[in-house]
A and B are shown apart, each in its own frame.
Chain A
């Protein structure tokens, strides 16, 4: 990471950095490669979920993040383990990039007792407390104030943590975004609003939902530092997030980051749906040429940091982890019906 000699904010953070996912260690050595590995891993996981979805073992809606991997990688790798994220219905990549447990996630999709929610939530409620994935919430905009409230608690307790609210381009149409942004600005809370603009709310394009104006104005109007960047450029996402994190830790308040990207697959489910009429194949192709994973691979190859041998090693290691996680999920028992009365 760029600031190797920065003192970790707490002893706990220092310990956490040497444990867990290995992201922190990777980051220290080689940021571009760490971003690439994170994105490649998420891509392979989502593709494997899509491939196996027809088996009817994952019996819950899935909102895949294929095409949007640079945002989760760039944002989450700029955070420390004790920082908290709150995600949305499209939560897989956020959860995984932040260090969420893959086995617990897949087991949850399979409705198993070993799932991160014990089979109570499905794919839209995944969370992992040790990893700092506070919550994922499926109602558009609903998690934005929850992340803001986490930031309020951090400020009230004087702890140097940061909270991130992931949101989509439609969430800024919800009043609750503005309510949370206003409060965060008034109280200078350590929260970062990360707007992943993938241009569609389900099948409805941004242009019929909002005036043709930059999304970032919606942060600025609340007095919040707001920037827009290429959401398919993981390094750009990382550096803007890191700047926002530094501002938040310094007590300088919230940020609003808009990352333009594109959802490759259908809103919900494992398929491509460019044929059903709400967007064109040509539009999809222009975005696929700017594949965040491919762009980073090409860059690493140009810099001599990635070759065919290294790529095969990475894929083998990632795929082995994924297969092992699916084996775990499939082998885990379903929860017992009597358990549903617990925690109700």
Chain B
């Protein structure tokens, strides 16, 4: 058993991603995806890929899709700002791109540097045709994750599962 604060829901979401056929987990480390990343690394059937910048994960999703594989890009909300140009893959090329975003700068944030991008996430995703599925409460998680998975892989588009700070909690500074 892990004592990680996000262990319970991360286990559940990891199982859901795996059941959806996702075997490539790309990420830039963040407190909100740390446990999920551990699970993806520990599992023999999934691969965890450390990126240098978030948009690489959008491109990797496209490369995996071309040979019939599914991936999820896990990042903090600040990383969403690095992705718009590469989201041309999903908006223009109908590539699936599933993202899991752990929010900063939206609710209870104490670091002022997080607010500009945190408040721009919705606008950026809207501009690039990404469907957004927000999770404020634990009981929303499965339904929102299913919706994001379906939008990404059934409709071949950008889809973001957005875990808000109401759900994750705000970090103290």
Q: Do A and B come from one complex?
A: no
